[in-house]
Chains A and B, each alone.
Chain A
Amino acid sequence: AQKITQTQPGMFVQEKEAVTLDCTYDTSDQSYGLFWYKQPSSGEMIFLIYQGSYDEQNATEGRYSLNFQKARKSANLVISASQLGDSAMYFCAMREGRSYNTDKLIFGTGTRLQVFP
Chain B
Amino acid sequence: DSGVTQTPKHLITATGQRVTLRCSPRSGDLSVYWYQQSLDQGLQFLIQYYNGEERAKGNILERFSAQQFPDLHSELNLSSLELGDSALYFCASSVEGRDNEQFFGPGTRLTVL
Contacts and interface: CB of A to CB of B under 8 A. Distances in A.
Given A52-B99, A91-B43, A109-B42, A103 B104 contact: no
Interface residues of B, number: 27
A116 interface: no
Interface stretch (B18-26, B67-75, B76-84, B88-96): B88-96
Interface residues of A, number: 23
Q: 6 shortest A-B CB distances, which residue pairs?
A: A102-B56, A45-B104, A47-B101, A107-B43, A104-B45, A52-B99
A115 interface: no
Given A43-B88, A50-B99, A104-B45, 10 more contacts: A35-B101, A43-B107, A44-B2, A44-B104, A103-B33, A103-B97, A104-B33, A104-B48, A104-B56, A110-B43
Interface of B: 2, 31, 33, 35, 42-45, 48, 55-56, 58, 88, 90, 92, 94, 96-97, 99-104, 106-107, 109
B99 A33 contact: yes
B101 A50 contact: yes
A43 B106 contact: yes
26 contacts: A35-B101, A35-B102, A43-B106, A44-B2, A44-B104, A45-B107, A46-B104, A47-B101, A47-B102, A47-B103, A50-B99, A50-B100, A91-B43, A100-B56, A101-B56, A102-B48, A102-B55, A103-B31, A103-B33, A103-B97, A103-B102, A104-B45, A105-B45, A106-B45, A108-B42, A110-B42
